Amino acid sequence: MSGAQYSKKQDLLKNINRRGFLLRASLLSSGIFLQGCLRKLHPKSAYKDIKGEIKGPNAKAGHLLRDKSPIAPPSHSHSVETLIIGGGIAGLSAARWLKKNGYKQFELLEVEQEVGGNSRSGKNATSSFPLGAHYITTANLHDKELIEFLHEHKVISHFENNLPFYNPYFLVFDPEERLLINGQWQEGLVPDFGVPENDKKQIRSFLALVEELKKAKGTDGKYAFDVPLDNSSADSEFRQLDKISFQSYLKDKGYTSPYLLWYLEYCCKDDFGQKLQAVSAWAGLHYFAGRKGIAANAEENSVLTWPEGNGWLVERLASSVKEHIRGSSLAYEISETANGKMQVLVLDPETDKVSAVIADKVILTTPQYVTKRLLRQFERPNFHYDSLSYAPWVTATITVNGMGSTKGAGLSWDNVAYNTPSVGYVNANQQHLQTNENKKVLTYYLPLCDYQPQVSRLAAYSRSYEQWLDMIIPELEYMHPNITEMIEQMEVWLWGHGMISPTVDYIWGGNREAGSAPIGNKIFFAHSDLSGISIFEEAFHQGIKAAKQLLES
Amino acid sequence: MDKRLPALLLISVFVVATCGLIYELIAGTLASYLLGDSVTQFSTIIGVYLFSMGIGSWLSKYFDKNILSWFIQIEILVGIIGGTSSTLLFLLFEHIASFRILLYGLVSLTGILVGLEIPLLMRILQDRFEFKDLVSKVFTFDYIGALLASLIFPLVLIPYLGLVKTSYLFGILNVAVALFVCVNFKREIPAAGYLRSASIISIFGLLVGFVYSETITSFSESMSYNDTIIYSKSTSYQRIILTKRGKVLRLFLNGNLQFSSDDEYRYHEALVHPGLTALPEAKNVLVMGGGDGLAVREILKYPQIQSITLVDLDAGMTSLFQKNNMLVELNKGSLLSPKVKVVNADAFTWVRNQQKKFDFIVIDFPDPSNYSVGKLYTNSFYSEIKGLLAENGIMVVQSTSPYVAPRSFWTVNKTLESVGFHTVPYHNYVPSFGEWGYIMAMQRQHYKKPVQFPAGLKFVSKESLDQMFYFPGDMTKVETEVNKLNNQVLVKYFEDEWGAVL
């Protein structure tokens, strides 16, 4: 992928892209600004009873990193053998692994007050709720490390005939999913109600295809698609699928049904925050074929979830390493000292106090767009930061005191409407045992994938709270007529870099591999963006892999 | 003018008399609906009403000047009080403690005002008729009005308008008399304009009441129930409706029949006695659901029982069955017994946080008609509650109809077995529900059919038990899945099977 000519071409492309980006971005944000002015003429209007505001990851910290504003010299410093930077799933998993293997000389820095990253959760009077990631599926049987972790925390209570028996309180309660299609809520998300026979045929054919791919193995005897994806077969028959988009793959295979394509696009939006044309075919198929977790007491790939979503898993991961965690600590620069140690400058975003940590080794579990700033003084050979694409997301935590009645299937855990911008909402109360609750907390997920991520991200940051309501509520109203008056509160969460997108050629194109290489046995990397797929399992294994590299070094 | 007026005034007598009797009938009917025992209610209401009319007549001598204007004011007042009386009584029935005072207060007030009407009218008319004519005419119209009222009330008004609308209608007629007098005698009345606007406003107000009476009292459900609704309340959890027809009380939760007082003994005897009689050593009992206290009533027939814990979600429900006279009579005050501890909590969460063991457990939840209640019929719930059942104890679960919904019934059985219970299914016939099913569950097989039952049972006996344990061909066991939190098959079965018959 290297070579002078290619780079030049890339630079040229970049320039064109850049100009286009600026044009689109300015058009879009001035549009939003104008609309915002108009909006002010009719302040709040129908939404005046809805309380809430825009929230998001610590923006101040993010800007400090990007703009590199002058920061005072460190007031004090201390030493530690190993420093883990980042308290998302990868960081916590690395910490857990170190501790589990008897290694205690480490500290974990997290910029937010709470660890968890995308898997953080919140709580109000009605329920706990996820802010981002909200489920895992039953683990692949051969994924010993994950199964061990789940067993450790009684997600798996015991084994029957060598199959894990999952805690029934954590398996998603029925009804699991429903789809609003052709005027009615149907059970399940695969389009069915009112779908013509020809489309159903294509849907069946695709599902049969991925069922085959689930079992398929490459010439090296490994599964074609596996979790973590690094365990997948190197067989080029499969890996070459990373070089084309999922959209062209489907076209080549003759899949034309709008219902099928909608469903697949929904899946890509749901897991990757991107549309069919923007993700690789390998990644698109991995969504269906990678997970093959069977259980003694549940169907294959059953969902495991909690009212607080993956916040529950965060709590369990962190439980064994609590005393090693330092919140509100923004690492913003790493340098090598004269005697070969790592000096990490750390700022407390609340107090603006700066300190230095001198570490022998560092595990960097920050996303690469942050890592880029931290490692200004280091080379990562052959790794191109800028070819990583992150999907911006908006999630909304919505507290409702009723939902009205709907035609067809009743409120489920996951609720999606056909052909709408969002990927629907999940009901945090689903896993509650109470029989009678009028109030619910819904988490609504909207991937911002209509434009290039940079454009969408910029546009997202320029929207006001009322403008988000203008975008979200009409869709909710479409799903549930008259729900507006039942909305008590809506917190809008903006995730500028919500998740890595497995763009064409990213997973197997070599960049990922380059980015995963430790620097001089001193800096190790772990993050789901180095997997290319933003799921708990990948981040979990990223953390373990980095911890193992460190312990072996 | 003078020729026409006396005749019109006599028509007023007629209207006023009709209205007066209607109010009395409304109060009597309402009292017997709400408080039961119609003979006593009617008799005391009529007594109080007539006595108050006497007070009114006696008071009439103290009205000296401006009799016409007093008459008009009294008409307006009667119209307003009489017209809104049934609404007031329905709405205030929920404040049960003070209800009788309020009822008789309103009856007396209406009586006094109605008692004032005829004497005052006679004095207005005295200059226009000879005395013997006056007495004869006034009383003739008075009694004709009474006859008319007593005929149209049961035949026309109650069936077509209902109590609330009837009172508003007659309130309007009453005020219309006031308006009519006011308009025709305006020269003889000081401040006629003021009285006229007052009557018009009152008529308008009563008209609004008439039109919106159903919304105001939120008794719109009465359309969907055959019987008269005597109590309705939305608690935070459900809508409680109590209806009455003749002596029969029926309780509906969210529109689903919970019991009918004429045959509930069949259900509650069958629910409790087959299990509890087999446990002569039982001391501690747990009842889940069953906030009506009727299962507890049956359990209290065993003197060896020391404590009964009743867990019901809805405090509105349990307190209704602790306070309302008719309902307390029905459950024999069971929820007021010192042996009974009422806990208002969510069943699943409560069970998960309990350690105490119980000798006998009654599970009397609503039918699994939705996913929320369906959770209380899952293997997860049963395995939690299994931990609360003593080694030699028995648990009994109401399990819907094995005749209408065999798959649902046998799913409950299968689910109980799946967590290691030994089960004994049985059934009986409850006219209001049809053929109904129950399942006893125990830690190991130790059930022996009892032969001796508490005295005074109307249904359960040694002989009926033989019938109850026998499942004829149309209710035999079918193979089903286990009901789990993550499949909730029972709700689907239940929907299918009951959907087919309803």
DSSP B295-326: HHHHHTT-TT--EEEEE-S-HHHHHHHHH-HH
Determine, yes or no, domain membership for A7: no
Helices B162-184 and B67-92 cross at an angle (nearest 10°) of 170
**Residues A162, A280 within the same domain:** yes
pLDDT band at A75 (very low <50, low <70, confident <90, very high): confident
Whether A434 contacts chain B with CB within 8 A: yes
Question: B484 vs A302: CB contact, 8 Å cut-off?
Answer: no
Give B375's contacts in chain A (Cβ within 8 Å).
173, 433, 435
Phi, psi of A336 (to 5 degrees): -100, 130
A352's tokens: 């603006």
In chain B, residues with a C-beta closer than 8 Å to the C-beta of A436 are 236-238, 313, 346, 372
pLDDT at residue B284 tops 90: yes
pLDDT, tens digit, 9 for 90 and up, residues A319-330 = 999 999 999 999
CB contact under 8 A, B485 and A434: no
Q: Which residues in chain B touch residue A174, judged by CB atoms under 8 angstroms apart?
A: 371, 484-488, 491
pLDDT above 90 covers what percent of chain B? Answer: 48
Of B219, B237, B268, which residue sits at a domain end? B219
Q: Give the per-residue pLDDT at B214.
A: 66
| Token reading at B465 | 């038990």
Q: Go through chain B and tell me how many residues it has.
A: 502
Q: What is the pLDDT of residue B155?
A: 83
Instruction: Give yes or no for residue A466 having a pLDDT over 50.
Output: yes
H helix or E strand, kind and range, residue A396: strand A390-400
Q: Which of B346, B370, B487 sits opposite A434 (nearest CB)?
A: B346
| CATH of residue B103 | 1.20.1250
pLDDT at A18: 61
Residue B230 lies in a domain: no
B86 and B139 part of one domain: yes
**What is the biggest distance separating any 2 CA atoms in chain A, rounded to whole angstroms?**
71
Does position A96 have pLDDT exceeding 80, yes or no? Answer: yes
Mutate to test the interface with A, among B486, B491, B492, B496 (most CBs of A within 10 A): B486
On whether both A112 and A261 belong to a single domain, the answer is no
What is d(CA B157, CA B437) in angstroms, rounded to the nearest whole number?
42
Instruction: State which amino acid sits at residue B97.
Output: A
Whether B376 sits inside 8 A of A435 (CB atoms) is yes
Give per-residue pLDDT as tens, A508-536: 999 999 999 999 999 999 999 999 999 99
A168 lies in the same domain as A284: yes
From chain A, the residues in CB contact with B346 under 8 A are 433-436
Residue B4: its pLDDT value, please? 63
CA distance A364 to A161: 40
What confidence score (pLDDT) does residue A42 get?
63
Our CA-based measurement puts residue B277 at a distance from the nearest CA of chain A, in whole angstroms, of: 31
A166 occurs within a structural domain: yes
B36 CB neighbour count, 10 Å cutoff: 19
Q: Is B364 a catalytic residue?
A: yes
**Is A412 found in the same domain as A324?**
no
> In terms of domains, do A377 and A508 share one?
yes
In the prediction, which pLDDT does B278 show?
Answer: 95
Each residue's pLDDT tens digit, B5-27: 677 778 888 888 888 888 888 88
Instruction: Assign 3-class secondary structure to A68-128.
Output: CCCCCCCCEEEEEEEEEECCCHHHHHHHHHHHHCCCCCEEEECCCCCCCHHHCEEECCCCE
**For tokens 């052959």, what's the residue?**
A382
Q: Which domain holds residue A219?
A: 156-298
Cα–Cα distance for residue pair A173/B376, rounded to 1 Å:
12
Is position A2 within any domain?
A: no
Bond prior to A258 in cis (omega within 30° of 0): no
Q: Which of B392, B394, B335 is nearest to B360 (CA)?
A: B394
Q: Which residue has the higher pLDDT, B150 or B225?
A: B150
Domain at B367, CATH number: 3.40.50.150
Q: What chain A residue is nearest to B351 in terms of C-alpha separation?
A: A433
- Residues B486 and B350 occupy one common structural domain: yes
Are residues A191 and A166 part of one domain?
Answer: yes
pLDDT for position B31: 77
Indicate whether B388 and B280 sit together in one domain.
yes
Mean pLDDT over each residue of chain A, to the nearest integer: 91
Least CB–CB distance from B237: residue in A171, A174, A436: A436
Where is average pLDDT lowest: A114-118, A494-498, B89-93? B89-93
Query: With contact defined as beta carbons under 8 Å apart, do A357 and A84 qualify?
Result: no
Name A309's Cβ contacts closer than 8 Å, sequence gap at least 6.
Answer: A119, A121, A129, A130, A131, A132, A133, A134, A135, A426, A428, A443
Our CA-based measurement puts residue A304 at a distance from the nearest CA of chain B, in whole angstroms, of 10
Share of chain A above pLDDT 70, in %: 92
Same domain, B195 and B317: no
Same domain, B177 and B41: yes
pLDDT confidence bin for A70, thresholds 50/70/90: low
Q: Are residues B203 and B129 in the same domain?
A: yes
B102 — pLDDT class (breaks 50, 70, 90): confident
Q: For A435, which of B347, B485, B488 is closest by C-beta distance? A: B347
* pLDDT at residue B2, as a whole number: 53
Distances in Å between the Cα of B423 and the Cα atoms of B389, B408, B441 are 14, 15, 4
CB neighbours of A283 closer than 8 A, spacing ≥ 6? A242, A246, A272, A502, A507, A532, A533
Collapse the DSSP code of A488 into the 3-class scheme (helix H, G, I; strand E, B; otherwise coil) and give the result.
strand
Cβ neighbour number for residue A445 with a 10 Å cutoff: 24
- Say if residue A520 is in the same domain as residue A535: yes
Distance from CA of A134 to the nearest CA of B (A): 17
Is the model's pLDDT at A40 over the cut of 70? no
Domain presence at residue A140: no
Overall size of chain A counted in residues: 553
Query: Is B375 part of a structural domain of the chain?
Result: yes
Which of A302, A410, A435 has the CB atom closest to B375's CB atom?
Answer: A435
Task: Please identify, among B219, B247, B271, the residue that sits at the C-terminal boundary of a domain.
Answer: B219
pLDDT digits (tens, 9 = 90+) for A417-461: 999 999 999 999 999 998 877 899 999 999 999 988 999 998 898
**Co-location of A368 and A515 in the same domain:** yes
**Of A174, A410, A433, Cβ closest to residue B486:** A174
Q: How many alpha carbons fall within 13 Å on the CB side of residue A187?
A: 5
A306-to-A135, A173, A294, A426, B282 alpha-carbon distances in Å: 8, 10, 20, 11, 39
A171 to chain B: which residues are within 8 Å by CB?
484-486
Tell me, yes or no, whether B452 and B384 share the same domain.
Answer: yes
Spot the catalytic one: B142, B227, B312, B364.
Answer: B364
The answer to whether the CB of A137 falls within 8 A of the CB of A155 is no
Burial of A463 (0-12, 13-18, 19+ CB in 10 A): buried
CA–CA dist A241, A249 (Å, integer) = 8
pLDDT band at A278 (very low <50, low <70, confident <90, very high): very high
Of B372, B380, B488, Cβ closest to residue A436: B372
* Chain A nearest C-alpha distance from B309 (Å): 19
C-alpha span between A503 and A257 (Å, rounded): 23
pLDDT of residue B193: 84
Q: Do residues A440 and A509 both lie within one domain?
A: no
Q: Is the pLDDT of residue B404 over 90?
A: yes
Quote the number of domains for chain B.
2
CA-nearest residue to A401 within chain B is: B236
Residue of B nearest to A411 (CA): B371
Tokens linked to A471: 């975008």
Picking from B195, B219, B243, the residue at the C-terminal end of a domain is: B219
H helices present in A122-257, as ranges: 144-152, 197-215, 236-239, 246-252
Does residue A300 sit at the B interface (CB-CB below 8 Å)?
Answer: no
Q: Please state, in angstroms and rounded to a whole number, the distance separating the CA atoms of residues A29 and A37.
A: 12
Would you say residue B238 has pLDDT above 80? no
Query: What does pLDDT average to over chain B?
Result: 87
Show the tokens assigned to B475: 């209710």
Q: Are A128 and A308 spatial neighbours (Cβ–Cβ below 8 Å)?
A: yes
Same domain for B366 and B263: yes
Average pLDDT over residues B248-274: 90
Q: Is the pLDDT of residue B226 over 60?
A: no
For B377, the closest chain A residue by CA position comes to A435
CB B436 within 8 A of CB B475: no
By residue range, what is the domain housing residue B97?
4-219
Supply A266's token pair: 């929904």
Q: Per residue in B128-183, pLDDT tens?
A: 778 888 888 888 888 888 888 888 888 888 777 777 888 899 999 989 988 888 88
Comparing B36 with B90, which gets the higher pLDDT?
B90
Cα-trace Rg, chain A? 23
Q: What pLDDT, on a 0 to 100 scale, did the predictor assign at position A5?
A: 43
Q: Is residue B319 part of a domain?
A: yes
> Taking phi first (over 0 means left), then psi (-120 to 50 degrees means alpha), and beta for anything else, what does residue A419 get?
left
For chain B, say whether A177 makes contact (Cβ under 8 Å): no
Q: Chain B residues with CB inside 8 Å of A433's CB?
A: 346, 348-349, 352, 375
With b meaning 16 or more CB within 10 Å and e meaning fewer, what string describes A196-217?
eeebbebbeebeeebeebbebe
Q: Which has more pLDDT, B446 or A44?
A: B446
- What is the C-alpha to C-alpha distance for residues A151 and A276, in angstroms, rounded to an integer? 36
What does the block give as tokens for A265?
């696009």
CATH code, domain carrying A80:
3.50.50.60
* Phi, then psi, of B180 in degrees rounded to 5: -60, -45
Q: Is residue A4 pLDDT above 60, yes or no?
A: no
Phi, psi of A536 (to 5 degrees): -50, -45
Q: Are B340 and B333 in contact (CB under 8 A)?
A: no
- Cβ neighbors of B420 (< 8 A, separation 6 or more) are B383, B386, B443
User: What per-residue confidence (pLDDT) applies to A8?
Assistant: 47
Burial annotation B60-96 (CB, 10 A radius, 16+ → b, else e) = beebeeebbbbbbbbbbbbbbbbbbbbbbbbeebeeb
pLDDT attached to residue B43: 87
> Which of A300, A406, A436 is the best substitution to test chain B (most B C-beta atoms within 10 A)?
A436
Q: Which residue of B has its CA nearest to A436?
A: B237
Tokens of A7: 């780079």
Specify the pairing of strand A303-304 against strand A136-137.
Answer: antiparallel
Cα gap A259→A200, rounded to integer Å: 8
> Hey, what amino acid is at B281?
E
Q: Does residue A83 lie in a domain region? A: yes
Look up the CATH number of the domain holding residue A193.
1.10.405.10
Q: State in Å, rounded, how far the first CA of chain B is from the last one.
A: 65
Domain membership of residue B252 (yes or no) is no
pLDDT over 70 percentage in chain B: 93
| Domain identity same for A540 and A510 | yes
Quick check: is B68 in a domain?
yes
Asked if the structure places residue B224 within a domain, the reply is: no
Question: ipTM of this model?
Answer: 0.78
Q: Give the model's confidence band at B222: pLDDT under 50 very low, under 70 low, under 90 confident, else very high.
A: very low
Torsional class of A68: left (φ above 0), alpha (ψ -120 to 50), beta (otherwise) = left
- Nearest-Cα distance to chain A for B254, in Å, is 12
Do residues A440 and A529 both lie within one domain?
no
Are A165 and A288 in a shared domain? Answer: yes
Instruction: Pick the closest to residue B457 from B333, B278, B277, B321 (CA basis).
Output: B277
State the pLDDT at residue B35: 66
Do β-strands A128-130 and A121-123 pair in parallel, antiparallel, or remain unpaired?
A: antiparallel
All residues of chain B having their beta carbon less than 8 Å from the beta carbon of residue A304 are: none
On whether residue A449 sits in a domain, the answer given is yes
Within an 8 Å CB–CB cutoff, is residue A474 touching chain B? no
Query: How many domains does chain A fold into?
Result: 3
What are the angstrom distances between the C-alpha of B502 and each of B227, B242, B403, B412? 19, 22, 14, 21
Handedness of CA A365, A368, A372, A375 (dihedral sign): positive
Note the pLDDT of residue B502.
Answer: 61
Residue type, A415: N
Asked if the structure places residue A139 within a domain, the reply is no
Half-sphere exposure of A104 (CA within 13 A, CB side): 4
Spell out which residues of chain B touch residue A160, defining contact as CB-CB under 8 Å: none
Asked, for residue B240, whether it belongs to a domain, the answer is no
B371 neighbors A173 (Cβ within 8 angstroms):
yes
Asked if residue B239 is part of any domain, the answer here is no
The answer to whether residues B175 and B290 belong to one domain is: no
